[in-house]
Amino acid sequence: MGFQNGLNERLSQFPLLDSFRAGARFAAWKCDHPDNIEPAPVSAPLEMWRGTQRRGIVVAKKLYVKTFGCQMNVYDSARMADVLAPHGYSSADSAEGADLVILNTCHIREKAAEKVYSELGRLNILKAARRAEGRRMYIAVGGCVGQAEGKEILRRAPFVDLVMGPQSYHRLPDLLRRAEAGGVVDTEFPSESKFDHLPEESGATASGSRVSAFLTIQEGCDRFCTFCVVPYTRGAEFSRPVADVENEARRLVAYGAREITLLGQNVNAYHGAGDTGEFSLARLIHRLAEIEGLQRLRYTTSHPRDLSADLISAHGDVAVLMPFLHLPVQSGSDVVLKAMNRQHSADDYRRLIEKLRAARPDIALSSDFIVGFPGESDAAFEETLTLAREIEFAQAFSFKYSPRPGTPAAENEAQIPEAVKSARLAALQAVLGDSQAAFNANMIGRTLPVLFERPGRYANQLLGRTPYAQSVHAELPAEYRGRCVDIVITEAHTNSLAGEVAPGSLPAPTSDAPISAESFDEGRPA
């Protein structure tokens, strides 16, 4: 119970909601007592639905899911559709045609949360219009904004029917039944893992595009960066068992996925139970690499503190593990990194990059940066610019610091003026943009294997990605969707590449290619 006690001690240091603390305590307990978790009872409404299904009676309803934020939310949105499909819900093209609208939200930055309230205002108008027609529209807010704000959402938007956290959506049918009588808030961390009660993925909603799929293997975070709400909205670190991950990966490949991205708030802290003991992320990658038909593996998002030696080695040893890694650094200043509680220095990060490049010389790197963190001096910011120039990132995401209520950094009195943050962001983005442009330009004339995922803007055009996660468009017929094709890169743009099929390299179409984008998208959530 040492882990739980340590987590409780850390939680007690932060002025956050008791529900967050309770959820994290339980998640920690669950990690130590997996055998004590009883499965949730099947709800009466679900049993009633099963009876109607046997009699061929299922009321058709329309679902629209709008997703904000990260890839894990994309995964969760698809799984919500899977949960609701047996209850008669199919995809609507827009909120206007939906009986149920779910906003799957992100709480990382202030603007993201405010976008949710803006969207709710628009949905209220639609709900009133449907009510005038004698029809009802249900509105639900899920994800991290739902977890963090709970009843506050109902106070600001009393027309919302359901507020739930990211750990509750497996209970959607029962929550919607309860919402018929008025607004329901479910932000308690459940006593069971949602993954134990989700249905199998459908071919239509399988975690992203049918060619490239997402698979959540880990949730929560124990790092407690002082700017971040994730430990409180997602809970303590929890890793899915190896068998569950492998089975889902095999189903995704059977549905047509050729590339899988493993997801987690701190994915390289994965420690799932396996048939031969606990698996690290590296061991899991080696296991998944054996799946026939899986051509590419990626993982995100990583923390430098958990980038282990065996994971670094995997980049050189596992052929299907792509030579691209998103590894957030946030700052190049040790003073700022300490204030962020990142638990690594700028030089620690540099040494990790050296080891990665030694293991896989062609690896491309991406990162996250925050500028204008409380107390960041001009000199500290210059250290960030220096690190960015040294590493030469192929891609990067950079943001102005946004205070999140309840986090230690938000209470810091040394807040940076908005004008200073804006100027620093512009300067950093200029450096990062130059690096990305140079990386893309270096691709011109090279022949790269491109996995084509979806139709392009023009007829007879497909869009795909290189091993380095760059978007590429080329003239190819639709039957090559889901295939890797050697492409000679002819043009480099800021965010994409263009190319032509390498002479004599076009493989013959096969009957096992994924179904068309049009048939796949039918029934898929937004």
Report pLDDT digits (tens) over 210-240.
799 999 999 889 999 999 888 877 788 989 9
Identify whether the C-beta of residue 476 lies closer than 8 Å to the C-beta of residue 460: yes
Residues in the chain: 526
* Weakest-pLDDT range from 225-239, 280-294, 349-363, 412-426: 225-239
28 or 399: whose pLDDT is higher?
399
Identify whether the C-beta of residue 101 lies closer than 8 Å to the C-beta of residue 140: yes
Residue-number span of the structural domain to which 415 is assigned: 356-442
Helix (H, G, I), strand (E, B) or coil at 325: strand
266 or 108: whose pLDDT is higher?
266
Q: Residue 292: inside a domain, yes or no?
A: no
* 362-389: average pLDDT: 98
Distance between CA atoms of 275 and 286, rounded to whole angstroms? Answer: 14
pLDDT digits over 445-478, tens only? 999 999 999 999 999 999 999 999 999 999 999 9
Distance between CA atoms of 260 and 12, rounded to whole angstroms? Answer: 38
pLDDT for 7 equals 39
In this structure, what CATH number is given to the domain that contains residue 404? 3.30.750.200
In this model, does residue 247 exceed pLDDT 80?
A: yes
Q: Check whether residue 413 and residue 381 sit in a common domain.
A: yes
pLDDT for 202 equals 55
Q: Which amino acid is at 24?
A: A
Q: Residue 307: inside a domain, yes or no?
A: no
pLDDT for 472 equals 98
Q: Residue 478: inside a domain, yes or no?
A: yes
Q: How confident is the model at residue 37 (pLDDT cuts 50, 70, 90)?
A: very low
Q: Residue 277: inside a domain, yes or no?
A: no
pTM of the shown model: 0.76
* 111-138: average pLDDT: 89
Q: Check whether residue 67 and residue 162 sit in a common domain.
A: yes
112 or 12: whose pLDDT is higher?
112
* 199-203: average pLDDT: 57
Q: Residue 229: inside a domain, yes or no?
A: no
Q: How many domains does the chain have?
A: 3
Q: Check whether residue 421 and residue 514 sit in a common domain.
A: no
In this model, does residue 40 exceed pLDDT 60?
A: no
Q: Check whether residue 432 and residue 461 sit in a common domain.
A: no
In this model, does residue 201 exceed pLDDT 80?
A: no
Of 423, 442, 461, the position where a domain reaches its end is 442
pLDDT for 192 equals 55
* 485-501: average pLDDT: 96
Of 174, 195, 216, the position where a domain reaches its end is 195
Q: Dump the DSSP string for 151-200.
A: HHHHHH-TT--EEE-TT-GGGHHHHHHHHTTS-EEE-SPPSS-GGGGPPP
Of 166, 195, 224, the position where a domain reaches its end is 195
pLDDT for 187 equals 80
Q: Residue 260: inside a domain, yes or no?
A: no
Identify whether the C-beta of residue 137 lies closer than 8 Å to the C-beta of residue 125: no
Q: Check whether residue 55 and residue 140 sit in a common domain.
A: yes
